[in-house]
Amino acid sequence: MVHYQIIHCPHCEGTDLHKNGKSLNGTQRWFCKECKKYFRLAYRYKACQRETKEKIIEMTLNSSGVRDIGRVLGISKNTVTSELKKNSKNEPLLSDQRRIRQDGRIGSRDPA
Ligand SMILES: [Zn+2]
C-alpha cells in the first residue's frame, strides 16, 4: 500500500516542486519551479502562517490597533507593522479603504 500526498504551492497552486533542504527546526522546505518561491507546509512561528496574515488585515479593517492585534494573535507589534507595510505595497486594499473613509468624512461634513 503506497501513501502519497500531492503538494501544491501556496502562492500559485503549482505542483512542479522540488525539495530544498530542511529548516533549523527540521521541517521540509520546498521550492516552486513555476513561481520561483520557497515555502514550508507547516510553520511553527505563528506570524509566518497564512491565516495570521489574513487575520492582521481583517483586524486592521475592523480598526484594531497594532498593539491590540499583536496581543490577540500572540505575535510582536513590529511583525504586525511590517506585514501591513508589505500589504500596502502589494495590494492597494488598505489605502483604498482609507480613501473611502476620507471620502465619507468629506461627504458628511459637506452635505451639499
Ligand atoms: Zn508556486
Distance of CA 18 from the midpoint of ligand 1 (Å): 11
Residue whose grid cell is 513590529: 78
Task: Flag whether the pTM goes above 0.85.
Answer: no
**Do residues 22 and 16 make contact, with C-beta atoms less than 8 angstroms apart?**
no
**Do residues 41 and 17 make contact, with C-beta atoms less than 8 angstroms apart?**
no
Distance of CA 54 from the midpoint of ligand 1 (Å): 19
Distance of CA 80 from the midpoint of ligand 1 (Å): 25
Distance of CA 12 from the midpoint of ligand 1 (Å): 4
Regions in the chain scoring below 70 on pLDDT? 90-112
Q: What is the pLDDT of residues 80-106, one digit of tens each?
A: 999 888 877 766 555 555 555 555 554
